[in-house]
Amino acid sequence: MTGQTVPMRHSIFSTYNLIAVAATLVIFPLMLRLIAPEKIKPIDRAFLHKDIPKETSRPKHIAEKLENAWILNVIFVAVGSYQFFFLRTGPVTINSVILIFGILGLLLHWTPIRYARAFTDSAKVSGSLLLQYPLYGGIMALIAYAPHAHIDPLHTVLAQKMIDAATPATLPFLNFLSSCIITMFVPSGGGHWAVQGPVSIQAAIALGESSPAYLGKISMSVAFGEGVFNMIQPFWALPVLSLAGLNIRDIMGYCTVALIAGFCTFGAALIFS
């Protein structure tokens, strides 16, 4: 959009970001320790140490022999690897990532039946994620839907309303607030940038600000809002909660405190930098 590349020293490795991250590493543990209850809910972790049942009988039928044939996994891994390393053209895409994870799963589980069982067992832990991500995709599509060529999608309206009265000095913080709101509907980092990033960059250009340092700050303001408000959209914690035998309510109090601390810390970083 601007015909230039923003160096990472103006975004991830900027002084204001490093200071904010360092501050959270000090502030968060202290705040969470202060609100921690004296009586901790006991967690039964015995199920994590259960032995996987071993196969006691030799395969009898052709189907059983095939599902226990390690050579099939090796063939699939070889074909997939050849596709990825020799036949693939262009950059790595989401399909390439899926292919690599599929290859690694087949290789590490060694036989088809073990891979299938591991996948089924894992779904018990990550089932909520498997359910939620398609819903998030649908919400993102609705947020980005434009019913007519001359009608802006909802995410553009939300972002534009926040920045209409902005100045070059206040745009990063107002963009941060806009990002916080959009995160409630689009919690995925990549999807979030897809819906807000172009609007943010256009706003900066409209204000006559297109320096790498300013564009880096605008980009980070989107990331700050997405990261902070993910504290109360903790889909990222669901697999860990399942493994620990906890409910989302068990950590929401801590997440809310982290949100407040993060909002103040990263908001201040944008205002005073």
With 70 as the cut, is the pLDDT of residue 166 above it? yes
With 90 as the cut, is the pLDDT of residue 224 above it? yes
Interhelix angle 112-143/70-82, rounded to 10 degrees, is: 40
* Closest to 71 (Cα-Cα) out of 39, 101, 110: 110
* Closest to 229 (Cα-Cα) out of 273, 185, 173: 185
Evaluate whether 22 touches 232 at the Cβ level (below 8 Å).
no
* Closest to 268 (Cα-Cα) out of 93, 51, 20, 65: 20
* Closest to 253 (Cα-Cα) out of 36, 29, 28: 36
Token duo for residue 39: 């009586």
Mean pLDDT for 268-273 is: 91
Q: Identify which has the larger pLDDT, 127 or 105.
A: 105
- Quick one: pLDDT band at residue 147, thresholds 50, 70, 90? confident
Q: One-letter amino acid identity for 15?
A: T
With 90 as the cut, is the pLDDT of residue 14 above it? yes
CA dihedral 150, 156, 157, 161 (to 10 degrees): -130
- Quick one: pLDDT band at residue 127, thresholds 50, 70, 90? low
pLDDT at position 46 is 62
* Closest to 10 (Cα-Cα) out of 193, 272, 273: 273
**What is the chain's mean pLDDT, rounded?**
80
